[in-house]
Each structure stands twice: as C-alpha cells, then as structure tokens.
C-alpha cells in the first residue's frame, strides 16, 4: 500500500495542476506553475494508467535541492519555489554500493510513518531534508477485508471539481483549462508525502528515487484497506512538508499523523492486476453487478461442457451407462492472477 498508481497528464499539465496563487513585487496576484526539470540521464516520465514500482513518475521537491535553478517569479510571497521532475519509484538506500540502481533487494516502495525514523534506509533522507511530494491521478488498491481470493481492485483519487471525471479527459481538456489569472481547472491530483534519496552509480550517473509515506487508515477507508498514503490536502500542507529549512522533520512527521485524507474510490477492471497491461481504460469505473464479457477460451470451455453434459444425460436416459459425473471447470482466463497483485509492496515495512 500503495503499490500501483496512475498519472496520465503530460509534464506541462502536471506542473499547471500544481499552480499556486502568488503575489509579485508589483502586488499583482496570479497563479504560478512550478518548473519542470528532466531527470539527469535518460530517465523519462511516460504518462500511464498503470504505473508500477521502478517506473519514473513526477515528484515535487524544493528548489533548494537543485543547483542552478533560476526563479521565474523572484520576489513572490512564497518563501520557496518548487521543482517537479521524474524520480524512480522505490528509494535506493544510501548505503547501497551495487552497480544496478534497482538491484539492492530492499522493499522501499513505501515507508511506514510509525517507524520511519528507525530505518537506516530512510533516516538519512529525513536528516538531509529530502522530503518530496509524489504526484498522481490516484492509486489502485485491492480490497483486503473480504478474504484473499479474487480481490477486487479499486481506483482511489481526490474529490474532483464539478463536471471533471478523473478517467475522462474529454470532461476537462478544453481551451482555458489553465491561465495565470484563474489557475488550473482540470483534474485535482493526489499529493502524497514522500522522501527521496540521491544515488551515484560507479560511472558517476545520478539516480533520484523516492518512497511513499503510509500510515494506518481510519474511518470509511478501513473497509478497503488498513493502510493509506499520507496525503497532503492543501497548498499549505505541501509547503510545510517541502520547507525543510523552516519545518524540521519531526514536526513535519507529526503533521502527517494528524487527520485522514478526503478520498473517493470506485471499482476497476482486474486487467490492472498485471502491470504489463497499459490500456488507457484501466482507470475507468466498472459495474460490479454486470458480469464481464467471457474470454474466447472460457467461452469455448463453457460450450464444450454444455455439450458434454447433454451427451451424458442422453446416454443415461438410454441406459447405455449406469453412472457418470460431470465436473464443471473454471476457465483460467477468468481468474485474477494474484501473483500480480501486491497488497502492500514494502513488506519489510509492514
């Protein structure tokens, strides 16, 4: 928890969706979007409805972590500007000395708020002020309160502006969706608290990676899962989490422990269970009361069983056989592949 996300906006749209109202030296009020920074090396972000760990996704950090950044709105009322850039999902421990960025073998997709200070993988990031905000349309969760078989996936997202459907781009992608005067009118992204690290390969290549901070869930979300990401609901909460110069990490962690996020969710297709599936409809809502269409192989098996059952009954009636049992088998294509569902990646941090 969480082990799969969706982020379907392009880099410019991600930045604009994080616009903050500022006041310039001239007293003019306008919305300012954070700058986008490409990750060093060939590590790019690709929008997707099904993002698994080890992918590069948009993350917001303070400008003070990046050298040589030129402020676009010098003198604004904000004490610090933000930068958005792709980072590897799955924090690379600072003590790791291997050759491959993802070869350390530790489960660092998520880090638990309750013991984050005790983990040697995460404590250095806290001390250095390496706090970040993970941006996404939402995340997927598999209901864990109704047994372990055939878990139903759900897509969890922030409450959206009136008329905006998070899964339907046509409801918001229109002229005037963003302006300096009125800000962003498109989908509201989830902003999850995270920590990051900077790892250098033997060749001197830099890789920035992150882990999502999670905590025990409360209220209605407990019907879906026992843990939830630490969500930053307001611009002030985002600023306090990123402003390591004025808010020390113990105070910042105490803020995360308070309250529960305002979230909404709906069921989605089990096709999202396999991270290789990248269809654009994976985050669309489905009707659980409506039986999904049967796969070709399952349909063939069903027809075969019906034919076999008919033959048995006919033979029994004619007295050609005394007894024969027909067993119905479930087509494998209709089963949820549990090996592709990770209830809470980061098992070492449960």
> Residue 214: which H helix or E strand, with range?
strand 206-216
Q: Which residue has the tokens 């999670």?
A: 214
Q: Residues 2, 18, 82, 132: which is the catalytic one?
A: 2
The Cα 152–Cα 146 span in angstroms is: 9
Would you call 288 exposed, middle or buried from its count of C-beta atoms within 10 A (0-12, 13-18, 19+)? Answer: exposed
Q: Where are the beta strands (DSSP E) in 217-342?
A: 227-229, 264-267
Q: Which of 13, 141, 343, 344 is catalytic?
A: 141
- 141 in active site: yes
Question: Is 2 a catalytic site residue?
Answer: yes
> What SS3 class is residue 60?
strand
Question: Are the C-beta atoms of 32 and 73 separated by less than 8 Å?
Answer: yes
Cα separations (Å) of 79 from 71, 84, 245, 262, 333?
A: 12, 17, 10, 27, 55
CA atoms within 13 A on the CB side of 11: 13
Torsion sign across C-alpha atoms 339, 51, 196, 254: negative
Are 49 and 278 within 8 A, CB to CB? yes
List active site positions. Answer: 2, 141
């Amino acid at each position: 928890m969480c082990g799969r996300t969706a982020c379907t906006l392009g880099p410019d749209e991600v930045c604009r969706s994080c616009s903050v109202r500022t006041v310039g030296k001239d007293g003019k009020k306008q919305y300012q979007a954070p700058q986008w920074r490409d990750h060093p090396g060939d590590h790019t972000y690709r929008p997707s409805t099904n993002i698994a760990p080890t992918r590069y996704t948009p993350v917001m950090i303070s400008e003070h972590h990046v050298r040589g950044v030129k402020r676009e709105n010098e003198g604004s009322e904000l004490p610090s500007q933000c930068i958005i850039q792709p980072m590897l999902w799955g924090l690379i421990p600072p003590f790791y000395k291997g050759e491959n960025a993802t070869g350390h073998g530790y489960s660092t997709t998520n880090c638990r708020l309750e013991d984050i200070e005790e983990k040697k993988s995460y404590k250095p990031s806290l001390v250095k002020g390496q706090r970040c905000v993970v941006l996404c349309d939402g995340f997927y969760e598999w209901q864990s309160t109704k047994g372990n078989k055939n878990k139903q996936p759900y897509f969890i997202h922030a409450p959206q502006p009136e008329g905006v459907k998070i899964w339907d781009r046509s409801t918001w992608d229109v002229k005037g969706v963003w302006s300096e005067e009125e800000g962003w009118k498109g989908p509201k992204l989830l902003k999850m608290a995270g920590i990051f690290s900077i790892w250098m390969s033997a060749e001197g290549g830099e890789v920035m990676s992150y882990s999502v901070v999670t905590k025990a869930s409360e209220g209605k979300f407990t019907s879906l899962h026992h843990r939830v990401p630490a969500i930053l609901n307001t611009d002030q909460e985002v600023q306090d989490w990123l402003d390591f110069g004025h808010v020390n990490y113990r105070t910042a962690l105490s803020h995360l422990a308070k309250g529960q996020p305002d979230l909404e969710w709906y069921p989605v297709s089990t096709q999202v269970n396999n991270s290789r599936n990248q269809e654009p409809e994976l985050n669309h809502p489905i009707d659980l009361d409506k039986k999904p269409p049967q796969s070709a192989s399952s349909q063939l098996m069903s027809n075969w069983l019906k034919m076999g059952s008919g033959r048995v009954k006919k033979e029994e009636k004619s007295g050609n056989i005394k007894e024969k049992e027909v067993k119905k088998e479930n087509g494998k294509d209709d089963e949820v592949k549990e090996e592709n569902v990770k209830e809470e990646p980061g098992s070492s941090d449960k």
